[in-house]
Amino acid sequence: MGEAREENQRLKKYLDQIMKDYQNLQMKFFDIVQKDGRKTTNNTNNHQEIEESEFVSLSLGRVAHDTKEDQKTVVSSKLKEDDQAKETLTLGLDRKFELYGQMKVTYAYNSFEEPKKEARETSWLPSKVLKTMQSGDDETQQQNPVKKARVSVRARCETPTMNDGCRWRKYGQKVAKGNPCPRAYYRCTVSPSCPVRKQVQRCAEDISILITTYEGTHNHPLPCMLATTMASTTSAAASMLLSESSSSQLPGHSSSVTTANLHGPDFYKLDSLKSEHFYLPNSSFSSSVVPNSHPTITLDLTSSPSSSLPRFNKVSSPEYRPRYSSASLNFNSSYSDSMSWVNGFLNYGRQPYNKKQIGNLSMGRQPVEDIYQSYMQKKDLTPQHSLLETIDTATKAITVDERFQSALATALTSIIDARDIAAGGAQRN
């Protein structure tokens, strides 16, 4: 328990240090942006340079996933100014690597803090800079109207809609061209102002496959871990798509997609993702890109077997360079594996979410049942697993996962403390 306390203190200090470094880097960076801005106003011919400087600025903290050498140079030269700042950016790069390389889908549990964060993060900026950035975005948006990224989830599902933990209200239905099955339109009703919508449609080729397409970002606390996981999964996938798009944009369009989308909550959501990772063990990602339509990334949970190794394919055709890049990342596995995950996914939302049973078992914002659930899902456990396996896995979770140990220690402390207090009170009485 003492160790747990020390660890908590250590982590707090570490977090404070990261926040300081991050703010230092931002200050320095926007100084440079301002200088660049002055240069560009002197030269009216280099509009593209303005766009690129904006592009670089908005990529910070997220990923320098770009092929443009000059941008890399700008970023790296700035980083040399501050080693600690470099460390801060490295966090972003690592995160990106996780998204691209290992295809971890990060688990965000504090997405509802995004608007506040956004306000806080930008509040220190000189109003002039903010104004410039905002008007710049408006301009580029007008020039190049950006459609929201969509994330489509294909899963075998018997029910009319997939249980994703959120509350939805149906507001329309339409038969779309090329598919006799009607498409249903839902909007999130957890918060009246929530912009998130989803479309649900059965696959024309296989009606057992349900295609759920999500659009937008929740602006409220999500009701359960399942919803949070879903939201962060789709958000991460959308961010991946948008980030990927930034590396293959046409010259002169460089800022249109990226700047417009990085100002949304997703940018901060990604930034808020620290260490909790949620695995999609058996899934396939691909994106379909149609000019002037919504960039869509598809998360296919119905894939057929081929290889357990992740594949990353760029599928942009030389004849057609879309505004949004095309990419696919496959994690193909057996159908049964996929289904076990989907079943776990769907069933979890139906489990009673009884916090009282868990009591004070919590670790910061993340309840320990979430950690455990996350761990269980990483292990691809399903209700079909035997009790022994479950116990075995729980034991492993306790012995292997330091977070779990820490949470358990904290919980035990609170229980013992509470008992001591009660006992003390009884003795006094």
Partner DNA sequence: CGCATTTGACCTGCGC
Partner DNA sequence: GCGCAGGTCAAATGCG
What's the first-to-final CA gap in the chain, in angstroms?
A: 29
- Tokens 């989803």, located at residue: 198
Q: Are 15 and 22 in contact (CB under 8 A)?
A: no
Least distance to DNA from the beta carbon of 170, Å?
4
Least distance to DNA from the beta carbon of 245, Å?
17
Nearer to DNA, 95 or 323 (CB): 323
Helix (H) or strand (E) holding 153: strand 150-156
Least distance to DNA from the beta carbon of 178, Å?
6
Residue 189 corresponds to which tokens in the numbers above?
Answer: 């009703």
Distance CA 155, CA 342 (A): 7
- Interaction site with DNA (CB under 7 A): 145, 168-174, 176-178, 183-185, 189, 197, 199, 291-292, 294
Least distance to DNA from the beta carbon of 322, Å?
12
Alpha carbon separation from 362 to 281, 351, 358, 413 (Å, rounded): 26, 19, 8, 12
Nearer to DNA, 182 or 305 (CB): 182
Least distance to DNA from the beta carbon of 294, Å?
7
Nearer to DNA, 183 or 277 (CB): 183
Neighbours of 369 (CB within 10 A): 19
Nearer to DNA, 68 or 148 (CB): 148
Do the strands 168-175 and 296-300 form a parallel or antiparallel pair, or are they unpaired?
A: unpaired
Least distance to DNA from the beta carbon of 428, Å?
49
Nearer to DNA, 242 or 280 (CB): 242
Nearer to DNA, 104 or 150 (CB): 150
- 128-134: long-range pairs with CB below 8 Å, 24+: 128/34, 129/30, 129/33, 129/34, 129/37, 132/37, 133/54, 133/57, 133/263
Least distance to DNA from the beta carbon of 252, Å?
18
Least distance to DNA from the beta carbon of 317, Å?
17
Burial class (CB in 10 A: 0-12, 13-18, 19+), 275: exposed
Nearer to DNA, 44 or 292 (CB): 292
Alpha carbon separation from 59 to 50, 70, 258 (Å, rounded): 14, 14, 8
Nearer to DNA, 148 or 277 (CB): 148
Burial class (CB in 10 A: 0-12, 13-18, 19+), 262: buried
What is the Cα 119 distance to its own chain's centre? 19
Residues 6+ apart with CB under 8 A from 235: 108, 111, 151, 217, 266, 269, 270
